[in-house]
Amino acid sequence: MITLYGSLHSRANRCAWMLRELDLDFRHEPTNFQDGSTRKAEFLRLNPNGRVPVLDDDGFVLFESLAINLYLAKKFGGPLGPTDLQEEALMMQWSLWVENEVEKPLLLAAANATLFAPDKRSAEERDVALAKLNRPWTVLDNLLAEQPYLTGDRFTVADLNVASVMTLGPIARIDLTAFANLDAWLMRCLDRPKATDWRSVSFSIPRPPGPLGMLSMFV
């Protein structure tokens, strides 16, 4: 039995999307960091970091959303999983890339675009974050000018992992039209029937105290 812990307004939505794409039955425990559930002893035994998501696959416990999805792709296969070692390496490459190159500046841009309360937003912080995204988004846009998906001609866990991070863009109404290939690819991914319905996602986050350079929220 597979159990997924985490509110679907958190990074757990990435794993719920993957489980649905694989047509896997799973039990959902909507653990929410905002109500203190992730700090309870029972949950900390699953993830001592006190964060969601966590996947329990019949006793095998794994945290970190993109790692969970790579594990599911490798275990259950199908078109979303790798067909050889090279494809597996590309799936890992793009998953690490989006986490290292895109997620933090995109989160900072999204927070200052719509997710912070209006009086807590900074146009300067938003613009600095968007400027940092220009290079990685250009890299992705150029690749998608040559092929429809990240590893070639089919949708895989690489696309799901990257698109699930990029979902913050349309949620925060960030304009991606300057990156036409990226924009079209993202909508292809998010319009898949099994994708988490990001259009219904509506939430805000409090502005944390101190500098925002290492902003780590939406957990």
Identify whether 205 is part of a domain. Answer: no
- Low-confidence winner among 47-51, 61-65, 192-196, 207-211 (lowest mean pLDDT): 207-211
Whether 41 and 130 map to the same domain: the answer is no
Q: How much is the average pLDDT of 52-57?
A: 97
What was the pLDDT predicted at 219? 37
Comparing C-alpha atoms, which of 124, 69, 61 is closest to residue 96? 69
Whether 189 and 116 map to the same domain: the answer is yes
Whether 27 and 115 map to the same domain: the answer is no
Whether 93 and 190 map to the same domain: the answer is yes
CATH code at position 40: 3.40.30.10
Parent domain of 183: 85-200
CATH code at position 153: 1.20.1050.10
Identify whether 31 is part of a domain. Answer: yes
- Domain boundary (76, 99, 130) is at 76
Does residue 207 surpass a pLDDT of 90? no
Q: What is the pLDDT of residues 122-155, one digit of tens each?
A: 999 999 999 999 999 999 999 999 999 999 999 9
Identify whether 179 is part of a domain. Answer: yes
Integer Cα distance of 76 and 9 in angstroms:
25
Does residue 106 surpass a pLDDT of 50? yes
Q: Measure Cα distances from 1 to 24, 25, 55, 61 in Å.
A: 10, 8, 10, 12
Does residue 214 surpass a pLDDT of 50? no
Mean pLDDT computed over every residue of the chain = 92
Whether 100 and 129 map to the same domain: the answer is yes
Whether 13 and 41 map to the same domain: the answer is yes
Count structural domains, the chain.
2
Whether 196 and 89 map to the same domain: the answer is yes
Does residue 37 surpass a pLDDT of 80? yes
Integer Cα distance of 44 and 37 in angstroms:
9
What was the pLDDT predicted at 109? 96
Phi then psi dihedrals of residue 31, to 5 deg: -60, 130
With beta carbons less than 8 A apart as the criterion, state whether 33 and 219 touch: yes
Whether 69 and 134 map to the same domain: the answer is no
With beta carbons less than 8 A apart as the criterion, state whether 133 and 175 touch: no
The more confidently predicted of residues 36 and 79 is: 79
Q: What is the pLDDT of residues 85-99, one digit of tens each?
A: 999 999 999 999 999
Whether 29 and 69 map to the same domain: the answer is yes
Identify whether 12 is part of a domain. Answer: yes
Identify whether 142 is part of a domain. Answer: yes
What was the pLDDT predicted at 33? 79
pTM: 0.91
